[in-house]
Amino acid sequence: HWTLLSVSLLNCLLSTACSVGLALAIALTVHSRGTHLVRGCNSSALPVDARAAIATNDCPFNTTRIYDTALALWFPSLLLAATEAVLSGRCCLVALVFQGIGPCAHSYGKEQV
């Protein structure tokens, strides 16, 4: 039970940190209209708005649809990471109940006897 508690608590913390990081990345990308996504490109031909970026040889990646693709991948990842954090938190609560710790632990032990 202690292994379940420690692993679920660690996974809950990591999933929460991942969710916060993804939410921050989405917010910064939307706020800057994607300019941070093409920051590695050294071309002066790149426009300020990443949605209108063109593919150049000065950039190590294709910039044509990086803004839309990044957001299309980050939103489902954010939802999955948040769901994982919630489910890990519930698993942590179950582990606490199995250990006899928490508000539901006393009634659970009496029902099992």
Per-residue model confidence as pLDDT tens digits over 51-98: 555 555 556 666 667 777 888 899 999 999 999 999 999 888 888 887
Single-letter residue type at 77: S
Average pLDDT over residues 12-21: 94
Distance in Å from the first CA to the final CA of the chain: 19
Pairwise CA distance, residues 55 & 64, whole Å = 6
Rounded-to-integer distance, Cα 76 and Cα 96, Å: 30
Residue 106 counted as domain residue: no
Examine residue 31 and state whether it is found in any structural domain, yes or no: no
In a domain, 8, yes or no: no
Q: What's the pTM value of the predicted model, to 2 decimals?
A: 0.70
The total of structural domains in the chain comes to 1
Indicate whether 85 belongs to any domain: yes
Query: Residues 29-47: pLDDT tens digits?
Result: 888 877 777 766 655 555 5
Assess if residue 1 is contained within a domain.
no
Nearest of 28, 5, 18 to residue 88 by alpha carbon: 5
Tokens representing residue 75 in the block: 């939103």
The rounded distance, in Å, linking the Cα atoms of 31 and 59 is 22
Q: Is residue 83 part of a domain?
A: yes
Range of the domain at 71: 62-101
